[in-house]
Structure 1
Amino acid sequence: MAENRASAYTEGVPCWVDAQLSDTAAGRRFYGELFGWTFEEKEAYGGSVLALLEGRPVAALAAKSDGRMPTVWAVYFAAPDMGALAARIRAGGGQIVGDARQVGHYGTAALAADPEGAVFGLWQPGRHAGFGVRHQPGSFDWAQLYTRDTETANAFYGGLFHEALFGRDTRPDFGRAPVTDVFPAEMPPHFLVHFRVARAEAALGTAVRLGGRVQVPPFETSYGTVAVVADDQGASFAVLER
């Protein structure tokens, strides 16, 4: 796995994404053609496959260890002090889902859930700080939390990641919106990972040709034109044209 500086991502900044898939070889074919990713031939820790854009790390495809696990993209927020951040999550009404796990010498990962149950990841870096590139076509650009209660979400994440949301960083890389802005009311609160593309319509055409499906056609947001897609295994993500 390529190394990068731990100081590249301050607390609360989205620093990594991964997909839990039944078939990582199929994932390589789908995302390789859709986003122009290449992949390290040697598997990373735990059997995951590192995706690269122009030689720099952009995501991981992980083989599900249990078929009952959801097929899903997850976003990880930088957590230089995992213990302190976990304590604030619990104090704010959230929870830590399972135990933190050491990912070899790369870092430490944990999953958490906010007060409404939306799941997100925490990443305490070792040798791997996170994205080697972002905000370029084929790489991570935004994470949107779709929630039923934006006031509760603002209070929770504002207290958790205050500096990333309201401090010097003028581009926090994630936002909050009501679920019903895009999805049916019965959709549970969740984070949606957005990847930058040059042209949303072209990306949708490629995704469908590769066996994916369009879940939500293109719509306009304050941060660009977005469409929601499911890959050929059912993992949902968004494409974002700015």
Structure 2
Amino acid sequence: MPSPERIMPVAGAPCWVNLMAHDLHAAQAFYTEVMGWEFRDSSLGSSFSVAMAHGEPVAGIGCCSPAGPPAVWTPYFAVRDADETAARIRERGATPAIGPLKLGAGRAGIAADRDGAMFGFWEGPALAWSVGRGSAPARLDLQTRHAFEAAIFYAEVFDWAQPPGGCTVDYAQDHVVIQLAGHTVATLRGGGIETAPDPKIRPRWIVDFHVQDSKKAAAAAVDAGGDSSTMPSLAGSAKDAFIIRDPDGALFTVSDA
């Protein structure tokens, strides 16, 4: 199988999603059963693998210590300088948690924003991948307490709304839409605590994957040791969607393609 294409992603745009699981082989088995993914080795070593769908890269799954932080799906945003990004995060009252560290041909870091939502940043070439296109996730949604305050934070960290060629920010009535070349790459939504269908949901980035049959995927998740619940449809969508927690507790959503 040929290696997936690598590109230099647009600074400020989402460039990948990754899960750090406590048991890599168990996580691969779960997502193979639920999502139908196949896995191949990555260039980052035996503790990291790339999920593939129809021959295209979807996401990464790595392994962390069972005594480490909770498993969580994390979006990564491309940056020109990981050290400068970490400094911006600190200056704005958020918390760099890991790195920046050298990984393969790039450098990566993980941070928590001011409300505690985890996100990553990546400096260097990345797999050819874009939200909502091909086999990549259909949506990245930030559920947070104050969407507009969060938008200011991320815009300052990632230079959103700084032309030319970068991400633009569109403020709607109750949410914020981030676009790249007219294509939505992320949505920031307020009310992450008060209006979430599951009261245990804290402010976080949620990765939504398109599937052919979300009901089937949700049932498979339960059979494989996870949990699922119905997710209210987003405005303008009548498609089925489900919130799924894998056996490690990592939350993601699936919706009909």
Q: Is the 8 A contact 2:131 2:139 kept in 1?
A: no
Q: Deviations over 1:154-202 (max 9, x none)?
A: 2212333413243653223211112123245664311111111123222
Separation in structure 2 between the aligned mates of residue 27 and residue 58 of structure 1, nearest angstrom: 15
Cα 1:189/1:176, change in 2 over 3 Å: same
Q: How big is the shift at 1:228? A: 1.0
Query: What does residue 253 of structure 2 align with?
Result: 238
Partner-residue secondary structure (3-state), 1:87: helix
Tell me the CA shift for residue 238 of structure 1.
0.9
Q: Tell me, what secondary structure is at the counterpart of 2:222?
A: helix
- Evaluate the alpha carbon distance shift between residue 185 and residue 30 of structure 1 in structure 2; reply closer, same or farther with a 3 A threshold: closer
Is this contact kept in 1: 2:4–2:128, CA < 8 A? no
Offset at residue 109 of structure 1 (A):
0.8
- Cα-to-partner distance string for 1:56-97 (whole Å, 9 max, x where unaligned): 322122111352321221111111322333333333332322
Out of 207, 218, 232, the position equivalent to 1:193 is: 207
State the match for 1:4 in structure 2: 5
Residue of structure 2 in register with 1:118 after alignment: 117
Tell me the residue number matched to 1:38. Answer: 38
Shift of 1:46: 5.7
Task: Specify the SS of the correspondent of 1:40.
Answer: strand
Q: Are 1:172 and 2:174 an aligned pair?
A: no
Q: CA deviation at 1:51?
A: 1.4
Aligned residues of 1:36 and 1:138 also touching (Cα < 8 A):
no
| Cα distance in 2 between the residues matched to 1:152 and 1:136 | 28
Shift of 1:125: 2.0
Q: Distance in 2 between matches of 1:102 and 1:145?
A: 27
3-state SS in 2 of match to 1:29: helix
Alpha-carbon distance between aligned partners in 2 of 1:57 and 1:174, rounded to the nearest angstrom: 19
- The 5-angstrom pairing of residues 1-242 of structure 1 reads 2-7=3-8, 9-40=9-40, 44-45=44-45, 47-105=47-105, 107-126=106-125, 129-132=126-129, 135=132, 139-161=136-158, 162=160, 163-166=166-169, 169-177=181-189, 178-179=191-192, 180-183=194-197, 187-214=201-228, 216-222=229-235, 224=237, 225=239, 226-242=241-257
More helix as a share of residues: 1
Unpaired runs of 5+ residues, structure 2, are: 161-165, 170-178
Of stretches 36-45 and 115-124 in structure 1, the one that deviates more from structure 2 is 36-45
Tell me how far apart the structure 2 counterparts of residues 6 and 101 of structure 1 sit (CA, whole Å): 20
TM-score normalised by length of structure 1 = 0.84
Q: Using the alignment, how far apart are the partners of 2:98 and 2:25 within structure 1?
A: 28
Please say if residues 18 and 75 of structure 2, whose CA atoms lie closer than 8 Å, have aligned partners that are also in contact.
yes
Structure 2: distance between partners of 1:156 and 1:42: 32
- Paired residues in the alignment total 237
Structure-2 change in CA distance of 1:30 and 1:66 (3 Å): closer
CA contact (8 A) 1:58 1:131 kept: no
CA RMSD of aligned residues (A): 2.6
Instruction: Give the whole-Å Cα distance in 2 for the aligned partners of 1:204 and 1:136.
Output: 22
Q: Which runs of 5+ in 1 are unaligned?
A: none
Which deviates the most, 115-124 or 86-95? 86-95
Q: Distance in 1 between matches of 2:236 and 2:11?
A: 22
TM-score, structure 2 as length reference: 0.80
1:41: Cα distance to partner? 5.1
Give how far 1:101 is off: 0.9
- Aligned identity (percent) is 28
Q: Secondary structure at the match of 1:57?
A: strand
